[in-house]
Amino acid sequence: MKFTTDSLIVEEVLSGNKEAYGHLVDRYKRPLYNLAFRMTSSVEDARDLSQEAFVRAYTKLHKYRPDKSLFTWLYTICLNLTRNHLAKKREVSSEDPNRSAVARGMSDRDCESLPDDLLIEKEETDWLERALQLIPVDLREAVVLRYMQDLPFEEVATISGISASAAKMRVYRGLERLRELRARQEQTDEL
């Protein structure tokens, strides 16, 4: 049977075809992993959290409301698991988000072999990933969902369990915090 929609897959799974769930996993494993990775900056944590989200969704599939987006429902599960994970860790990183790519594990030779524009892009991406870890989780999740997962504010709001205006405010505050970190970096670079 060809599964074209999420609701058909859910119906099939709830009817006893457990193998059909694999189609949902295949469809959404990358977005859930990316969300967890952007929030934790850890490959292992992202893998574990996205897998746990699928297990949790499978066990709660009977509670899913077909009139709602399955994507949003899965994202909400993954985001809640990630929030809980981060709350348990409570690691307030003292790591400076302004470390270079060399300090993050690339050798001098690796950096020299990259064209200048790719090296700059890698350093910017590395800086952003570290800086995201320094802003509060609620602001980080809003920025990640909006700009890294490319979701509209309404979906950010639904996933986060807040109003659309609150989602916009969190994104704005998160971007402000990132700008402050960037300004601090530029001040220290000038010295």
Q: What is the pLDDT of residues 76-118, one digit of tens each?
A: 999 999 999 988 876 444 344 444 343 344 444 544 554 556 6
Q: What is the pLDDT of residues 35-92, one digit of tens each?
A: 999 999 899 999 999 999 999 999 999 999 988 899 999 999 999 999 999 888 764 4
More confident residue, 103 or 171: 171
pLDDT > 70 in the chain, percent:
80
**Domain ranges for the chain:** 1-93
Written in H, E and C, the secondary structure of the chain is: CCCCCHHHHHHHHHCCCHHHHHHHHHHHHHHHHHHHHHHHCCHHHHHHHHHHHHHHHHHCHHHCCCCCCHHHHHHHHHHHHHHHHHHHHCCCCCCCCCCCCCCCCCCHHHHHHCCHHHHHHHHHHHHHHHHHCCCCHHHHHHHHHHHHCCCCHHHHHHHHCCCHHHHHHHHHHHHHHHHHHHHHHHHHHHC
What is the structure's pLDDT at 117?
Answer: 62
Indicate the class that CATH gives domain 1-93.
Answer: mainly alpha
Q: What is the pLDDT of residues 5-15, one digit of tens each?
A: 898 899 999 99
